[in-house]
Amino acid sequence: MLDIKFVRDHAEEVKENIKKKFQDQKLPLVDEVIALDKENRALKQRGDDLRAQRNQFSRQIGRLMKEGKREEAEKVKVQVSSMAEEMKQIEAKEAEVTAQIETIMMQIPNMINPTVPIGKDDSENVELEKYGEPRIPDFEIPYHTEIMERFHGIDMDSARKVAGNGFYYLMGDIARLHSAMTAYARDFMIERGFTYVVPPFMIRSHVVTGVMSFAEMENMMYKIEGEDLYLIGTSEHSMIGKFIDTILEEKDMPYTYTSYSPCFRKEKGAHGIEERGVYRIHQFEKQEMIVVCKPEESADWFVKLYMNTVDLFRSMDIPVRTLECCSGDLADLKCKSVDVEAWSPRQQKYFEVGSCSNLTDAQARRLKIRVNGENGKYFAHTLNNTVVAPPRMLIAFLENNLNADGSVNIPEVLQPYMGGLKKMEPKK
């Protein structure tokens, strides 16, 4: 969320930013919120004037009573009562206008970084760099669920009967591999100085609206019926919520966490054939990175975060590339975002396995996360990034480590988490 003063003083820049995000339908919101802000400031001023007059009259009443001028004092009391009624009306109107301003401000997107490429959607994202040599095997690589089935490692038919589409049972070596990746990612981040956290998997509505836009909330979140609780779509939600209404000490910055959680997402809309299986699902697990830092440090942390993911994948010899998200592919709270994509030997192209975002102070303003600095208080910057989401990692891992005989090599870094196993042999 932007500062209303910034919108007021830089209205044309805010409108241009909206255009760059191809959200022209939101342009009228800028003038609307500026008009409401003007009305709100007038109401505040009138309220302040009335309070000052009331205090003056109260002193006058006391003086008149001391002087025995009871009749004059009673007349002044009538004026004070009339002012009190007007103040009550002003306070009610002020609360109404403030709520309208907040609703609109939460729809106006964060200012994008000047380096963000301008484009309508993810088809116009820009490749930054490749890491590792893509493998093109001389044998056919099956779809990832077919590979898993050879190990008796997945059962989607039973999951459909139990929970519907978008769910799965992982079993045997595949399930163990899934857990091994999460454990390895956890230890990988701990070794890089991050504190490991297991957060709440449900959050209240005011935290939801603090960490994401209304559109994201509608498309992603599952609500618990009859309660003010939502299932998290990523642990970023509850991890950033951890700091709600807090004043942090500058000397303690930055806060660097790596958090594990199951994730739940609606995943609305139709998806392509390559998004079957465990690629786009309603329930999965994820290891995440979260940083809360000083504003001047967030740009450096942004690069560090997505490079952690690159390094993790490369430690398992999986080729990846980084892709800068264009303006139209940025969610409203994001200032800048980079996706990490892994190489798919089967498709012979890259696919998304993680996303890193700098939200500057957008979440901090919504959640009132402030820092007590040498020169006063200011809003913190928040960042998040995927360390690993095992279902998609499984796809990249199985395809890149599959042998012609159907066996799958286990990289050295994962072997301790697989009981020393160096190769998985298919069951059929």
Q: Look up the pTM and report it.
A: 0.89
Give me the count of residues in the chain.
Answer: 428
Based on the domain organization, do 186 and 269 belong to the same domain? yes
Based on the domain organization, do 38 and 156 belong to the same domain? no
Based on the domain organization, do 127 and 20 belong to the same domain? no
- Over residues 212-225, the mean pLDDT reads 88
What was the pLDDT predicted at 61? Answer: 77
Instruction: Classify residue 90: in a domain, yes or no.
Output: yes
Say which amino acid occupies 366.
Answer: R
CA distance 30 to 340: 34
- Over residues 219-235, the mean pLDDT reads 94
Listed residue (343, 341, 423) closest to 386, CA to CA? 341
Averaged pLDDT score across all residues of the chain: 93
Q: Residue 58: which CATH number? A: 1.10.287.40
What was the pLDDT predicted at 148? Answer: 96
Instruction: Classify residue 116: in a domain, yes or no.
Output: no
What was the pLDDT predicted at 274? Answer: 54
Listed residue (310, 313, 291) closest to 358, CA to CA? 291
Based on the domain organization, do 179 and 59 belong to the same domain? no
CA distance 383 to 194: 14
- Over residues 237-245, the mean pLDDT reads 97
Based on the domain organization, do 270 and 386 belong to the same domain? yes
Q: Which residue has the higher pLDDT, 260 or 390?
A: 260
Instruction: Classify residue 111: in a domain, yes or no.
Output: no
Judge whether 7 and 15 are in contact, CB under 8 Å. Answer: no
What was the pLDDT predicted at 270? Answer: 46
**Boundary (domain end) residue, out of 70, 105, 140:** 105
pLDDT band at 278 (very low <50, low <70, confident <90, very high): confident
Instruction: Classify residue 318: in a domain, yes or no.
Output: yes
Tens of pLDDT, residue by residue over 169-202, are 999 999 999 999 999 999 999 999 999 999 999 9
Based on the domain organization, do 392 and 247 belong to the same domain? yes
Instruction: Classify residue 110: in a domain, yes or no.
Output: no
Based on the domain organization, do 94 and 181 belong to the same domain? no
Beta strands in 151-265 (DSSP E): 154-155, 169-170, 195-197, 202-203, 222-223, 230-231, 246-249, 255-264
Q: Residue 293: which CATH number? A: 3.30.930.10
Those residues whose C-beta lies under 8 Å from the C-beta of residue 116, and which sit 6 or more positions away, are 324, 325, 326, 327, 330, 335, 336
Q: Which residue has the higher pLDDT, 406 or 67?
A: 406
Based on the domain organization, do 228 and 318 belong to the same domain? yes
What percent of the chain clears pLDDT 90, i.e. is strictly above it? Answer: 82
Tens of pLDDT, residue by residue over 325-353, are 999 999 999 999 999 999 999 999 999 99
Instruction: Classify residue 112: in a domain, yes or no.
Output: no
**Boundary (domain end) residue, out of 58, 74, 105:** 105
pLDDT band at 275 (very low <50, low <70, confident <90, very high): low
Q: How far is CA 186 from CA 18, 89, 197, in A?
A: 38, 55, 10
Domain boundaries, position 44: 4-105
Instruction: Classify residue 144: in a domain, yes or no.
Output: yes
**Residue 402 DSSP class:** B
Tens of pLDDT, residue by residue over 113-126, are 999 999 999 999 99
Based on the domain organization, do 173 and 263 belong to the same domain? yes
Instruction: Classify residue 115: in a domain, yes or no.
Output: no
**Boundary (domain end) residue, out of 48, 75, 105:** 105
Listed residue (381, 383, 378) closest to 356, CA to CA? 383
Those residues whose C-beta lies under 8 Å from the C-beta of residue 238, and which sit 6 or more positions away, are 199, 200, 201, 202, 203, 207, 232, 259, 261
Based on the domain organization, do 153 and 288 belong to the same domain? yes
User: Would you say residue 161 has pLDDT above 60?
Assistant: yes
Based on the domain organization, do 101 and 132 belong to the same domain? no
* Domain count along the chain: 2
Based on the domain organization, do 327 and 188 belong to the same domain? yes
